[in-house]
Amino acid sequence: MERNNLGTSFVQALSGRNWAVLQGLFQPSIKFRALIPPGLREASSDAEASGHFRQWFGKADAFELVDFIVEPLFDKLRIAYRLRLHEDRWYRCEQQAFCVVTGDQIEKMDLLCSGFRPEP
């Protein structure tokens, strides 16, 4: 799978909240680091990494992909997306991930998150 297609598949799995597909996009021994409010989250398995996304976004009763970009950055793949979600109120969230891809899977992901920003 081409790197850009892998990135698009990641965004599609996330926006559909298809946790099994998302997990399958990670190598079993992924190196995952995410800087989110309130701090660093890490994972060393595909199940742990996909579990973080499920924890962050799985409880929303409405979930929309607002925008995304997938592009190569030399030897890495950049995946950025904006989400709109509803829990107790409407929020926006943006995440940017820089990935090392091996074959058809993400071997390493470093992610930065804006946190859930309440809509005015």
Tokens 């909240």 locate to 17
d(CA 62, CA 115): 17
Which stretches of the chain are DSSP H helices? 3-15, 19-24, 46-57
Q: Which of 85, 36, 86, 50 is nearest to 65 (CA)?
A: 85
pLDDT at 4: 80
Q: What is the pLDDT of residues 28-44, one digit of tens each?
A: 999 999 999 999 999 99
pLDDT 10s digits, 57-73: 999 999 999 999 999 99
pTM above 0.85, yes or no: yes
103, amino acid identity: G
Residue 42 contacts residue 50 (beta carbons within 8 Å): no
Domains located in the chain, CATH noted: 3-118 (3.10.450.50)
